[in-house]
Structure 1
Amino acid sequence: MDLGVIDLSRLQFALTALYHFLFVPLTLGLSFILVIMESIYVMTGRPVWRQVTRFWGKIFGINFVLGVATGLTMEFQFGTNWSYFSHYVGDIFGAPLAIEGLMAFFLEATFVGLMFFGWDRLSKLGHLIVTFMVALGTNLSALWILIANGWMQNPVGAEFNPDTMRMEVTDFGAVLFNPIAQAKFVHTVSAGYVIASVLVLGVSAYWLLKGKWIAVARRSMTVAAAFGLASSLSAVVLGDESGYALTDNQKMKLAAIEAAWHTAPAPAGLTLFGMPDMAARTTRYSVEVPWLLGLIATRSLDHEVAGMSELVLRAEERIASGVIAYDAVERLKIDPANAAERARFEAHKRDLGYALLLKRHVADPRTASPALIASTAWDSVPNVPLMFWSFRAMALIGFAMIALFATAFLLCSLRLHLRTRWFLKLAVAAIPLPWIAAELGWIVAEMGRQPWAIEGVLPTFLASSSLGRGALWTTILGFTVLYGTLAVIEIRLILATIRHGPDEQKEDQPAAAPIPAVAA
């Protein structure tokens, strides 16, 4: 195998995924913000709330289009760049994606046109129902995609069939209710709600600083402050729940996030700061809070958090067991009716994927020496410094968002948000932060699973298609140019829409006036 092709395939998918995730969370969050704003319009009948809803609906529409376009490209890449992955686990992985297209995507696609063009053709309540259906479809789409991704992180409800040489579903209910998938969904949509709230808050603050569209700006800011505070608290709490799910299902990822090289006595301490060293397998200059990791990760004072060294020893045992399963599979290819070999396979089948890690070094895992098995076990450790710092930066931004929205909620409640210029400037400056946190979150989720495409089942280096480096470089450069151009177009459209402001001027909107400064 050409490891350069593997790395380029991973780079291409990573760039596409990170780019796609610039648009998805904003779509998730804005959809329900629109539901809240339009609900107020339906209940109060005040035209200004229709004006508020229609403006943010324009931002939603611009973002929605590019999110759909980049999502389609990602799904095609499973067939073009990751064909063996699609062959090996397509029976399981493909089902949630198919349901997402049939149930969620068509639902939102059906109602999104009615939402944009039905304002004067539907009743107030009818249009609100349409807007809610768009929001429901958008969030259901995220649910099914994250069920598929959650299965990659924790492959339950499926087994390898030596007769077909593929993974097959054994319990679709377990796939649907995978604890990793459920934790990822609620955390991811909460992050999307935070992103949308920050954008609404920041744009409203910008208008207030300029003294423009005051009625729309102050109402938008009030909604964003309340929704954002609830969402940011939810994102942090549910992020903690995601971490707790790792304790049972992805111990190596948790150990890498915390740079826990060895199993510490319970309850383990949390490393706030340090310099993880992959070569020396230690963390230098660490600053630790006693007991905190044990409380977060195990919800107890007497359960251990496994360290990477001990997990590597377990991986070594599983590789050795997997070699037995691999040998049984090879013998069953010759004689499928061999009951003894089938029994031997059944006894060791859960470790078959670990034997495949050896294919990075030898063509036949059965020829691996004990020394090679021991060194290969360390391949199961992801990039610890990347995981360590990405997680901490994400968490820091998460707590900063709570502080931002708590301040916004307080100022809005006291009706001081129209005059507190220092906070308005801060709200504008904070717009990029949740996007950075969301991208870091995906880096933690996906890089933390390495070296696996499917955790414990299929190594990433075996999952790709047989492509040449030239083809991959061509598509990477092509996507970069195309998506870079589309990103510039979208940003220009959004900025132009913000500068233009709401179209409709209503009598309950006061005349534009500059915002007086108050002491910080």
Structure 2
Amino acid sequence: MDPAVIDLSRLQFALTALYHFLFVPLTLGLAMLLVIMESVYVMTGREVWRTTTRFWGRIFGINFVLGVATGLTMEFQFGTNWSYFSHYVGDIFGAPLAIEGLMAFFLEATFVGLMFFGWDRLTRLGHLIVTFMVALGTNLSALWILVANGWMQNPAGADFNPATMRMEVTDFGAVLFNPIAQAKFVHTVSAGYVCASVVVLGVSAYYLLRGRFTEVAKRSMTVAAAFGLASSLSVVVLGDESGYALTDNQKMKLAAIEAAWHTAPAPAGLTLIGIPDTANRTTNYQVEVPWVLGLIATRSLDKEVTGMSELVLKAQERITSGVIAYDAVERLKTNPDDSAARGQFELHKRDLGYALLLKRHVADPRQASPQLISTTAWDVVPNVPLMFWSFRIMAAIGFFMIGLFGLAFTLCSLRLHTQTRWFLKLAVFAIPLPWIAIELGWILAEMGRQPWAIDGVLPTFLATSSLSRGALWTTIVGFTLLYGTMAVIEVRLILASIRKGPYEHDEDPQPAPGPIPAEPIVA
């Protein structure tokens, strides 16, 4: 197999996934904010809340269209670029994606039109129910996609069938209630809520700085401050829960994030900063906070956090065991009734994927020497510097979000948010930060799983299609140009919508020359 084809396939999927994930969080968060704003409108009957909801609904609609377009391309790539992946695990991986399309996406598609065009055709309560159904659909869509992705991280509820040479579902409940999937879902959705809250906060701050559409801006900022504070706190709490889930299911990812080359005495300390040295397998200039990692990862003071060197030794044992399983599979292919081979396979089947790691270096894993097995075991270590710094930048932004929304909530509660210009400027400049954190989080999730397409089951280099370099370069360039053009169009549409403002004919019922004096906000 051509290593360049593998790398180009990974690059193409990474570009489309990261691009797609620019739109998903904003869609998730804005949908919930629309429900909140429209609920206030239904309860109070005040026209300003209807105007506010429709304005942010327009931003939601522009973003929603691009999210759908980019998501479809990703799903097609499983068949075009990752055909062996689809063949090997399609019975499991395809089910959540199919449910997402039939349940969640159709739900969104059905109600999103009613949400945009039903304002004058539905009752206030009826339209609120429609908006809620759109928000429900977006969250269900995220749920099923993250169930599929969570299974890639922790392949529970499935086994390899030597008769079909594929992975098959044995317990769909285990797939659905996978702890990694559940932790990823709540953490990802909360991050989307933060993203949308920052956008609403920043745009509202821009209006207040310019003295435009102040009645809409004040109300939007108040909602964003409260919802954003709750969401940013939940991101940190649920991120902690995700770290705890890694302790049981993805120990290597956790060790790489902490650049923990060796198992430290319990309770392990948390490294704040340092410089991972992959050549010497150590971390230089590290500043450590005692006990914190042990408390986060194990919820105890007496349990260890296993280091990468010790995990590599376990991987070496599993590769050796996997070779036995591989031998049994080869024997069963020639004689399905070989009871000795079947018994041997059952004893070692959970390690079969580790034997496949050897195929990068040798055609038949049974021919691998002990030295090659020892060397291959280190392939299970992901890119440590990338993991280490991605996590710290993401976490720093997360804590900054808590501070930003805590300050916003305080100022809104004291009716001082319209007078504090430095805060309004800070809110505008903070708009890009959630996307940086979210993209880094996605990199952590996917790069931390390497070298696996399915953790412990299927190495990434075996999952690709038989494509040429030219075909991959052509599609990468084509997608980049297409998506780049679409991104420019979307940004221009959103900026034009923001410049136009919340009112149909750009009329501002209460224009102001600058930031207005603080006054009570009447719901």
TM-score normalized by the length of structure 1: 0.99
Letter in 2 for 1:176: L
Q: Give the match for residue 128 of structure 1.
A: 128
The DSSP-based 3-state class of the residue aligned with 1:260 is: coil
SS of 1:305's partner is: coil
Shift of 1:352: 0.1
AA of the residue aligned to 1:188: T
> Contact 2:37/2:223 (CA < 8 Å) preserved in 1?
yes
Matches within 5 A, 1:440-519: 440-504=440-504, 510-515=510-515
Structure 1 residue aligned with 2:417: 417
Residue in 1 aligned with 2:312?
A: 312
Structure 2 letter corresponding to 1:425: K
Q: For 1:516 and 1:485, how far apart are their aligned partners in 2?
A: 39
2:198 and 2:453 mapped to 1: Cα distance? 33
> Would the aligned equivalents of 1:78 and 1:85 in 2 still touch at CA under 8 Å?
yes
Do the aligned partners of residues 516 and 133 (structure 1) sit closer, same or farther apart at CA in structure 2, a change above 3 Å counting?
closer
Q: Equivalent residue of 1:167, what SS?
A: strand
Q: Which residue of 2 aligns with 1:19?
A: 19
In structure 2, the partner of 1:6 is: 6
1:296 corresponds to: 296
Whole-angstrom distance in 2 between the partners of 1:46 and 1:238: 36
Structure 1 match to 2:150: 150
How far is the alpha carbon of 1:510 from its aligned partner? 2.8
Distance in structure 1 (CA, Å) of the matches to 2:304 and 2:99: 39
Instruction: Name the residue aligned to 1:287.
Output: 287
- 8 Å Cα contact 2:211-2:511 kept in structure 1: no
Distance 2:508 2:382 in 1: 58
1:48–1:508 Cα contact (<8 Å) kept:
no
- CA shift, 1:513, in A, is 2.9
Q: Secondary structure of 2:280's partner?
A: coil
Query: Given the alignment of the two structures, is residue 396 of structure 1 paired with residue 396 of structure 2, yes or no?
Result: yes
Equivalent-residue separation in structure 1 for 2:306 and 2:505 (angstroms):
61
Is 2:319–2:377's contact at 8 Å kept on the other side of the alignment? Answer: yes
Report if the CA contact (8 A) 1:420-1:517 is conserved: no
Deviation per CA, 1:121-151, whole angstroms, max 9, x where unpaired?
0000000000000000000000000000000
Q: Distance in 2 between matches of 1:50 and 1:269?
A: 51
Q: Is the 8 A contact 1:421 1:517 kept in 2?
A: no
Deviations 1:294-313 (A, max 9, x none): 01100000000000000000
Identical pairs, percent: 84
Residue number in structure 2 paired with 1:184: 184
- 1:232 paired residue number: 232
Distance across 1 between alignment mates of 2:107 and 2:179 = 26
Q: Name the structure 2 match of 1:206.
A: 206
**CA distance in 2: counterparts of 1:28 and 1:13, whole angstroms:** 22
How far, CA to CA, are the matches of 1:48 and 1:151 in structure 2? 45
Pair 1:387 & 2:387 matched: yes
Tell me how far apart the structure 2 counterparts of residues 92 and 327 of structure 1 sit (CA, whole Å): 25
* Structure 1 residue aligned with 2:58: 58
Distance 2:481 2:472 in 1: 14
- Please give the alpha-carbon distance, in whole angstroms, between the structure 2 residues aligned to 1:367 and 1:43: 73
1:173 maps to what in 2? 173
Which deviates more, 507-516 or 220-229?
507-516
Other structure's SS at 2:264 match: coil
Q: Which moved more, 1:301-310 or 1:501-510?
A: 501-510
CA deviations over 1:38-81 (Å, ceiling 9, x no partner): 00000000000000000000000000000000000000000000
Deviation string, structure 1 residues 192-230 (Cα, Å, up to 9, x no partner): 000000000000000000000000000000000000000
User: What is the aligned partner in structure 1 of residue 333 from structure 2?
Assistant: 333
Which residue number in structure 1 is paired with residue 86 of structure 2?
86
Gaps of 5+ in 2: 519-523
Over aligned residues, Cα RMSD in angstroms?
Answer: 1.2
Matched residue of 2:326: which SS? helix
Q: Any conservation in 1 of the 2:312–2:378 contact (CA below 8 Å)?
A: yes
Give the Cα–Cα distance (whole angstroms) in 1 for the partners of residues 44 and 485 of structure 2.
42
Q: Give 1:63-74 correspondences, 5 Å limit.
A: 63-74=63-74
Contact 2:213 2:508 in 1 (8 A): no
Partners of 1:482 and 1:95 lie apart in 2 by 30
What secondary structure does 1:75 align onto?
helix
Deviation per residue, 1:162-220 (Å, 9 max, x gap)? 00000000000000000000000000000000000000000000000000000000000
Contact kept in structure 2, 1:111 and 1:131, CA below 8 Å: yes
Counterpart position of 1:40 = 40
Equivalents in 1 of 2:517, 2:434: separation in Å?
28
Tell me the residue number matched to 1:107: 107
**Matched residue type, 1:467:** L
The AA in structure 2 aligned to 1:287 is V
SS for the counterpart of 1:286 is strand
Q: Say how many residue pairs are matched.
A: 518
Gaps of 5+ in 1: none
- Of 340-349 and 508-517, the range deviating more from structure 2: 508-517
- Provide the secondary structure at the position in 1 that maps to 2:445: helix
Task: Give the C-alpha shift of residue 509 in structure 1.
Answer: 5.0
Distance (whole Å) between structure 1 residues aligned to residue 48 and residue 3 of structure 2: 58
Matched position secondary structure for 2:159 = strand
For 2:150 and 2:126, the matched residues in 1 are separated by 36
Distance 1:483 1:506, change over 3 A: closer
Counterpart of 2:381, as a letter, is: V
Contact 1:47 1:506 in 2 (8 A): no
Give the Cα separation in 1 of the matches to 2:516 and 2:346: 75
Inter-partner Cα distance in structure 1 for 2:329 and 2:259: 37
SS at match of 1:453: strand
Instruction: Please state how far the C-alpha of 1:517 moved relative to its aligned partner.
Output: 9.6
Whether the 8 Å CA contact 1:48–1:509 is kept in 2: the answer is no
The answer for the alignment partner of 2:28 in structure 1 is 28
Distance 2:143 2:509 in 1: 39
TM-score (norm 2): 0.98
